[in-house]
Structure 1
Amino acid sequence: MEKGKVYLVGAGPGDPKLITVRGQEALKRADVVVYDRLAGPHLLNYARAEAERIYVGKLPDRHTMKQEAINQLLVDLALQGKTVIRLKGGDPTVFGRVGEEAELLKRNGITYEIIPGITSAIAVPAYAGIPVTHRDLASSFSVITGHESPEKLDHSIYWDKVTNATGTLVFLMGVAKIGYISEQLIKHGRTPETPVALVRWGTRAEQRTVAGTLGDIEEKVKEANLQPPAVIVVGDVVKQRETLAWVESKPLFGRRVLVTRARSQASELAARIDELGGEPYEFPVIETRLPEGEEAESAIERALVRAEEYDWVMLTSVNGVDYFFRWLERFGVDIRRFHRAKFAAVGPKTAEALAQRGIRADLLPESYRAESLLDSLADQVAEGQTALLARGNLAREILPQELKKKGVRTVEIDVYETALSVPADIWLPEMLQNGEIHIVTFTSSSTVLNLLESLRRLGVEDPQAALSRCEIACIGPVTARTAEQHGLTPTIVPDEYTIEGLVQALVGKRE
């Protein structure tokens, strides 16, 4: 069997967008991804759905896999002919033990590639508004481990040389030793007034900074109860934070927002949350697909081939538009055959999806739900007309019911199905328990129902209790009512029932 290849990939400091393009491309080719918790879990979304994912960090029933075992695991997988990604936090060559992994691969004749990552030594200070160099303050910097015991630190660090070797000193993994580190730096020439900052979980929603001086930083860290992991920055560049703290000024900074939309639709909401300083956590609990079975297909075909009969074509979602046109293509139905029909759309995004296909909606209600469409149709539909409703299988019945009351012959077709999706996410239950999810967004009633069911399938006995510490944000009153009926308490409901309206409501809640 031909041997596989191993990519030793730096995942960056935590923000999933800080992985390199080359690292992302390698992930897309992976047969197996070997990762630990320092590599942001959302990076796994770049891997193919069928790729195997092996977690080698600590779990409640298992301690962290020893480095020697990880080294051998990489060899064993590659000998099976697989393309293996070893995903490591930060940069794999900066205290990442990549040398040990690469050496064993070399000895076994396995091809490997080291893909650098953005090290936390520069990224974390940058997210706290601290550049590690500055023309007027520091022309060089050092990166030093602070993880060892004082005895080992004294053995591995030449304090008399390191202390003043560069303008900025960056210690990784040294929170517990901050007192000893400060003591040694003062002893070897730094003044007690030297600025110091500790940045915990930089680039993530938990980012927190404690600043002081070498003389008082130990006391301030204790007062703040700052826990690892954190990056320590020593030097005058720390003063830059007073004017350059950029990410903390964003309106959603410090908020991790659960996005439950289908993966194909989540990008718009996730991008806006990210842009505003929040951390989107995608957990798609629904997926849309073509209806299966000959009966469903036949019903759709019968409806579409009668295109010339319709006075109205009504579409209530972007999905409805997308799948409507997929079926037209499948059955070879020319859109021009609907020449006598007017098109009605619920919501600007639905109208936009139509416009992208060269059709301007004849009717777009001011409010983005079925009731508003009915109000807008009141003086436009007439008894004896025929309407085609192209929707999903979970659409509410109010629209066809009211149309029929008005004497409108209504043809309903489910052009797509909404199904339950349960992401293979081992972290979410624990994050909910620890209060690490701050806001949960729901964009439809099905996302409410499916999130509750997904959590049950992930072993959460009481999903409502698990979500009780989160703010519940619903895109509109219908979704909010569903949430209330299932034991949740919506606190954010926008006036405009759109993704942008939901985003603005999230921001308004913080102001």
Structure 2
Amino acid sequence: MMTKPGCVYLVGAGPGDIGLVTLKGYTYLQQAEVVLYDRLVNPLLLEYASQQAEFIYCGKMPKKHILRQEAINELLVKHGLEGKNVVRLKGGDPSVFGRVGEEAAALEQAGVPYEIVPGITAGIGAAAYAGVPVTHREHSLSFAVITGHDKSPSGEPLIDWHALANGIDTIAFYMGLGNLPYISEQLISHGRSSDTPVLLIQWGTTGKQRTLQGNLATIVQKAKAAQFKNPAIILVGDVSTLKKGESWFESKPLFSQHLLLGRAGEEPSEMARHLREQGAEVFEFPRMQKKKHLLKKADIPANRDLLFLSPASVDIFFESLQANKIDIRRIQGEFYGISKKTVKAIESYHCFGKEIAERSPDAPPLVILGDPEGFHRKEQRYPFVFEPDFIATHSFIRVQQTEQTFSRLQEEERIETIIFPNARSVKTVTEGFQACGETPENISTYARVICFGEKSKQAAVKAGYAVSEVLSEPTEEALQEVLLQKEAPLVAAALS
């Protein structure tokens, strides 16, 4: 019996900023069983894929391919015929120099269903993040995207240079820095003024974005002096003069800072969102998966007060009641939450909850529900409450795919400073580093280590890190103050 074919989604990931992927692309990425991704895809996007997804790196650099295009086509067909949902994640727009036509043809020939999901192309996205619109009523009424290299023997683009030089106001050359002298020479020799403004944009829309302004006569020497390299867009035209100093993107307070926020739980942190709003690129590491431990009927306490350590413990408790067909009216004890957020979770089930601070110290012992790590952490904070009666509702395990994200970011030199807010973050982050073949001693040779307090400092030193700074107070505000003061980008382990 033949397996029903799956579907291959050829998705544009946008030029770099993970917020620029389309809603449809994001949805398909979450549903994918296999993800084949390119070098120019921001590795942080991988964190939004399914925890069970298989990742296949298809990185391509000039004259160096991890996988040849023919091999990529074969993998797409193979997994599609196996009935899997496959996402082929491409930088920018898949139809703009993304070879999507070749991949679609291979899938069509094999009878594998596919969809093409457009993305924001780099020529438009990178220009916008540099503060330059590619069209403007006073400067540009036409726009063209041109490959900076092609399949010709020399790799120099074989195009109608006369038509390009004289008929297009704004030209975006993709991946053409290696041919920048040739491009400038051809445009000038075919009629474009040597004074025509040029803007180079490297790693556009990411924290590594760099820009360089010049004109057709000067840009080659300037690019050489500044050591500009691909990936980059060469934007030729008068619109380039609209860039005056830092763009709206480059002027964000935390622009160029790459933050690694270590999390011990499953949910993304609010602090990560706040830092992204300030312009930082944030990697929450390591990615964690919740493993439920549903309670057996005999283990569910009916006549004791219950203390929940997290919203997750509340959800699993009520799921256990349903699984065991236990009526909530049989539970006679009162419900307490360790925090306001946990109390809200209790109330979402139409039950009355109180914060633990409201409970009398003389009340009978509680039954505590949560994850073991959370129990040990909260025990130090509320010693008068905690008794031996503890029931594990869940635990957290590291998602292996997060290791691939870390490795890609490390290759791109986006790991620079680590901040530990507590001892638990030291443990989870260190275990994640070790799974990636990294050690605290080695990472301390190229990354600064900042701790939120003395306890996290002690744990970090014991683990082998060289701690360089302790925050004045363990708050998000103190962290942002340090980030704003430091010139070097920071990597942070988040508050749990």
TM-score of the aligned structures, taking structure 1 as reference length: 0.80
Distance across 2 between alignment mates of 1:490 and 1:317 = 33
Per-residue deviation, residues 462-502 of structure 1 (Å, max 9, x unmatched)? 343125423435555433432232122263536254xx446
Residues 198 and 232 of structure 1 are in contact (CA less than 8 Å); yes or no, is this contact kept in structure 2? yes
The structural deviation recorded for 1:444 is 4.5
Preserved CA contact (<8 Å) 1:473 1:502: no
Partner residue in 1 for 2:212: 210
Could you tell me whether the CA contact under 8 Å between 2:16 and 2:42 is conserved in 1?
Answer: yes
**Does residue 1:393 correspond to 2:372, yes or no?**
yes
State the SS of the aligned residue for 1:247.
Answer: coil
Return the offset for 1:432: 3.4
More helix by share: 1
Using the alignment, how far apart are the partners of 2:104 and 2:75 within structure 1?
12
1:469 pairs with 2:438 = no
Q: Is the 1:435–1:470 contact (alpha carbons within 8 Å) kept by the matching residues of 2?
A: no
Contact preservation (8 Å) 1:492, 1:505:
no
Structure 1 counterpart of 2:67: 65
Aligned to 2:119: 117
Match of 2:191 among 182, 189, 201: 189
Deviation at 1:140, TM superposition (A): 1.2
- Please give the per-residue CA displacement for 1:92-135, whole angstroms capped at 9, x wherever unaligned: 11111112222233333333222211111100111111111111
Aligned 8 A contact 1:420 1:450 in 2:
no
Cα deviation for residue 215 of structure 1 reads 1.9
Whether 2:440 is the aligned partner of 1:438: answer: no
Match of 1:41, as an amino acid? P
For 2:457 and 2:28, the matched residues in 1 are separated by 41
- Secondary structure of the equivalent of 1:472? strand
Tell whether the 8 Å contact from 1:261 to 1:443 is kept in structure 2 after alignment: no
Partners of 2:379 and 2:91 in 1: CA distance: 53
SS at match of 2:243: helix
Per-residue deviation, 1:12? 1.2
Please name the residue that 2:11 is paired with.
9
The amino acid of 2:429's aligned partner reads L
**Alpha-carbon shift at residue 253 of structure 1 (Å):** 0.9
Map 1:118-267 onto structure 2 (within 5 A): 118-148=120-150, 156-242=158-244, 245-262=247-264, 264-267=266-269
What's the counterpart of residue 456 of structure 1? 434
d(CA) in 2 for partners of 1:441 and 1:356?
34
Q: Is this contact kept in 2: 1:30–1:51, CA < 8 A?
A: yes
- Residue of structure 1 in register with 2:302 after alignment: 305
Q: Distance in 2 between matches of 1:403 and 1:181?
A: 68
Instruction: Specify the SS of the correspondent of 1:394.
Output: helix
Q: 1:396 to 1:3 in 2, by over 3 A?
A: closer
| One-letter code aligned to 1:220 | K
- Checking the alignment, whether the CA contact within 8 Å between 1:169 and 1:233 is kept in structure 2 is yes
- Closer/same/farther in 2, CA of residues 442 and 350 from structure 1, 3 Å limit: farther
Give the residue type in structure 2 aligned to 1:175: L
* 1:171 Cα deviation after fit: 0.6
1:199 alignment partner AA: I
How many angstroms apart in 1 are the aligned matches of 2:100 and 2:376? 59
Percent identity among equivalent residues? 36
CA offsets 1:186-227 (integer angstroms, 9 cap, x no match): 222332322211111111221111112222111111111111
Q: Distance in 1 between matches of 2:181 and 2:235?
A: 14
For structure 1, list consecutive stretches of 5 or more residues without a partner in the other structure: 365-376
Per the alignment, in what secondary structure is the counterpart of residue 223 of structure 2?
helix
Segment of structure 1 superposing worse, 236-245 or 213-222: 236-245
For residue 170 of structure 1, give the secondary structure of its aligned residue in structure 2: strand
CA offset at residue 231 of structure 1?
A: 0.5
Contact 1:146 1:174 in 2 (8 A): yes
Residues 417-465 of structure 1: per-residue CA shift (max 9 Å, x gap): 44441422335246436631234354553332122222222333x3431
Report the CA distance between 1:15 and its aligned residue: 1.9
Alpha-carbon displacement from aligned partner over 1:373-428 (angstroms, at most 9, x marks no partner): xxxx9xx9656764555453125769768988x7x894542444444414223352
In structure 1, distance between residues paired with 2:391 and 2:23: 40
- Aligned counterparts of 1:257 and 1:468: Cα–Cα separation in 2: 17
Over 3 Å counting, the alpha-carbon distance change for 1:438 and 1:80 in structure 2 is: same
Q: Pick which of 85-94 and 466-475 moved more.
A: 466-475
Q: Is the 8 A contact 2:286 2:399 kept in 1?
A: yes
Q: Bigger relative contact order, structure 1 or 2, given CA contacts below 8 A and separation 6+?
A: 2
SS at match of 1:232: strand
Deviations 1:269-315 (A, max 9, x none): 33222211111123335444444786xx856x3xx4233xx5xx766
* Secondary structure of 1:93's aligned partner: coil
Could you tell me whether the CA contact under 8 Å between 1:198 and 1:209 is conserved in 2? yes
Q: Which amino acid aligns with 1:236?
A: D
- Distance 1:84-1:286 versus aligned 2 partners, 3 A rule: closer
Is the CA contact (8 Å cut-off) linking 1:474 and 1:502 kept in structure 2? no
Residues 409 and 82 of structure 1: is their aligned pair in 2 closer, same or farther, counting only changes over 3 Å?
Answer: closer
1:486 and 2:463 equivalent?
yes
**Contact 1:452-1:464 at 8 Å conserved across structures:** no
Matched to 1:393, the amino acid is P
In structure 2, C-alpha distance between the alignment counterparts of 1:345 and 1:168, rounded to whole Å: 59
1:504 to 448, 455, 480: 480
Aligned length: 478
- Answer whether contact 2:430 2:440 (CA < 8 A) is retained: yes
Say if 2:307 and 2:356, in contact at 8 Å, map to a contact too: no
The worse-fitting range, judged by mean Cα deviation, of 464-473 and 221-230 is 464-473
Q: Whole-Å Cα distance in 2 between the matches of residues 179 and 155 of structure 1?
A: 12
| Greater mean alpha carbon deviation, residues 108-117 or residues 92-101 | 108-117
Amino acid at match of 2:413: G
- Aligned CA-pair RMSD: 3.7
1:354–1:255 distance in 2 versus 1, CA, 3 Å: farther
Q: Matched residues in 2 for 1:431 and 1:198: separation?
A: 23
- Partners of 1:10 and 1:91 within 8 A in 2: yes
1:353-368 matches, cutoff 5 A: none
